[in-house]
Structure 1
Amino acid sequence: MEGTDKLRNYIDQDIKEEERSSTHQWLQSLSDHELENLLAAGWEETPIPMPAATATILDMQLKNAGIPLTATKPFRVLRLVRRLVAAASILLLASLYFLQKHKPAAPPTTPPTQLANTSMHARKVTLPDSSLVWLSPGAALTIPANYNTQSRNISISGEGYFEVAPHTTPFRVFAGGLEAQVLGTHFNVEAYPAERTTTIALTAGSIAIRIRPDSAVVLKPGFKLISRPAFHQVTVRNFLKERESDWKKGAFVLDDVPLDAVFSRLEYRYHKKVIINANFSGKARFTGAFSNTNLEDMLTNMAFVYGFKWQIANDTVFIH
């Protein structure tokens, strides 16, 4: 390809991607004299006649600038203008190509921190803003990288008790489709993945719970909100504040929980697989608290009340 054709295609962007880099390097290798000759050869067409008044003004400006004039002033002026435009086009296109090829990579996104309680006991976590969270066995927190710098938003799966440090930035917890917002307060969240119920209980302070994009419920201490999205149900009722956080001390606390959900929580707490016989109905609801009770004693007490049988084989509990 002739040099003038290559240059014209480059300026018109009528060039293949694999040829663009080599053309760019070729233009950079040309001397000023070679580039000027190339530009002149590419724009030797007959110029459009310039109005006399415009030519006179340009003559005066060029003379004042110290640029010598010849008998071909209109043509020389037009060629000069076109050279400047062409050179600017080459510089602009080359710069854009260079920036496209060498633009800095976007800074890596810092992933959120995942904290999971894999033990059989409550785990205490101190957040960067000095807020405290107790995680029940099997519970997990997701803490964004910008926590306490741009926001105080976290997500929880399982059960957790929060003591939120006062701050001007609202503290938000996302759990089971609900969003709870506080400034400084104490509350408990139950959002077990296997259950279709999310519960938020307030023990101190004030909390606003968004249940829909356009509505929220404000709780007072001693009240809990129970959300069952699958059934489009939201209820608020009171509870015993003294008992709500007993699980932090090792107790197994249940408040109106279906039996099948109780067995699911036992899996987290005791690291056992629970298999329920198909003929067993786990719809009955259980309320109670067991303090530092081993699994066998707990199953014995529950079986006496609800009339089921159980047995443990290795790491599996069979309910029938």
Structure 2
Amino acid sequence: MSEAAAAAAGHQQYPAGTLYLVATPIGNLADISLRAIHLLGLVDAVACEDTRVSAQLLRWLGLHKPMVALHQHNEQTAAEAVVARLRQGERIAYISDAGTPAVSDPGAVLVAAAQRAGVRVLPLPGASSAITALSAAGDARAQGFRFVGFLPTKAAERRSAVQALGGAAHSQILFEAPHRIEDLLGLLAELVPSQSLTLCRELTKQFETVHTALCSDFPAWLAADKQRERGEFVLVLHAAPPAENTGLPDEALRVLRLLMRELPLKQAVGLASEISGSPRNALYQQALAWKQDADGDDDAAGDDAT
């Protein structure tokens, strides 16, 4: 493996006194790049989020390197020590437990410290759970994407954060832990029920799952199999349907969606307008768009909201 890595990547220059940000696999060890293997064999030390996790990776690669713990609890002080070594001409790689450093993982403080000190920083691209999930979402309507990461854990802040996600014209990438996934899917179903969501679980691992559906459908999907609550989650909230980008408040859309489940279309629109104070015609056009998406009934467009 080391010989193959050297043959593929050895021709490139790897200057001394440089901080190398090295992406590592997010679950499948085979996803590490040949260039990452070659570079990890060259460096003087490996700074890492968890020395126990990184030691296992290095052993699998047949490498033995001095390691420096640099995580969220000591990042500032550890970064200063690493920068001091870089200024003395050492090559040091930084790796997080999985994926690309400094993307919802430690590393940004170290990079900023290196930049302030005039130390060169070079990234080695590789696995990223956020981009992997985005590629599998198939959100062709999206106008770009936004990385959100983990939402707040406090109930009120969490609810406000989910409400703020609604109606966007771009994809939004979220992370969630197993013990909070049920709560998050419940909030998405309540607050942005008509937007599509791609849920990715255990990406690149043996039991990986990629499932796309409306947010309103996910609580039932999750409850159907308790195994679906296990693992690490990346979620892509798809861009809102065009009709939802017309300025109607999220609360009005939520009320309309709930009423449409129980009442005929015109009655649901009328009540939603009275409850929310939103224009009847705008709500009606939104209801038609949802109905057409659901059953393909193009004739509904000829109905009259008045």
The structure where helix makes up a greater share of residues is 2
TM-score past 0.5 threshold: no
TM-score (norm 1): 0.23
Which structure has the larger Rg over C-alpha atoms?
1
TM-score (norm 2): 0.23
